Amino acid sequence: VMLPKVQTAAQVQWLDLLLTQIEEVMGFEVGRIGVEAQIENALGLSNVKEIAFASPRIETIIFGPADFMASMNMPSLVVGALNPDYPGDPFHYVLFKILEAARARGVQAIDGPFLQIRDVEAFRGVAKKSAALGYDGKWVLHPGQIDAANEVYAPRQEDYDHAELILDAYAWHTSDEGGLRGAVMLGDEMIDEASRKMAEVIAGKGRAAGMARTAAFEPPAG
């Protein structure tokens, strides 16, 4: 269930209680229905961390840019676009704060829609900003935006291949056969446990996108 315009944790808790009552009356598994909370105004952003932790049903935190812009009195009619009079990205803080709350809670962070549905290149440009931060995806309003979204939120082929290579290499080097080493060289690059965690993110996104690797790890001879 997507809950729009969430402003406080209490609103999520109210929905949790309502869903629990419905599940109990209908004989459904209690807690099975998830909740996606959409942050669309200043109060919601101020309380986003409390909202993220308000219920175990929370699965996703979503940014709603249009209502948010109205809430902040932003002088623009183009949803999510940069303002040439502002020397930076006015949405960076908003996106990062939502992402921080989502990751602290261990749930998805999803960017909101881009309303100029015929301008796919502009959609792609806006999507790249949240993808670079680590967002899991973005709403689409038209079938023409789907391919662009899949392209932007999936890793590049070379990055996916390298991530899989890091995972295989690190797994081998930390094994008995590989010498139980925690930090090793992969070409000119040192890899360690932190490298493995970073590679897991990229590899996971690639696998979710159905990507196929083009190179395999070969253990060093001898």
CB atoms within 10 A of CB 193: 11
Please list, residue by residue across 51-83, b when 16 or more beta carbons sit within 10 angstroms of its beta carbon and e when fewer do. Answer: bbebbebbbbbbbbbebbbebeeeeeeebbbee
In CATH, the number for domain 2-153 is 3.20.20.60
**pLDDT tens digits for range 17-63:** 999 999 999 999 999 999 999 999 999 999 999 999 999 999 999 99
Mean pLDDT calculated for residue range 119-132:
94
**pLDDT tens digits for range 160-183:** 999 999 999 999 999 988 888 889
- Spatial separation of the C-alpha atoms in residues 158 and 214, rounded to whole Å: 9
Domain residues of the chain, as ranges?
2-153, 157-208
Mean pLDDT calculated for residue range 147-172:
94
pLDDT at 142 over 70: yes
> Nearest 5°: phi and psi at 134?
120, 10
Lowest-confidence region among 57-61, 132-136, 145-149, 170-174: 170-174
- Token digits of residue 63: 């940014």
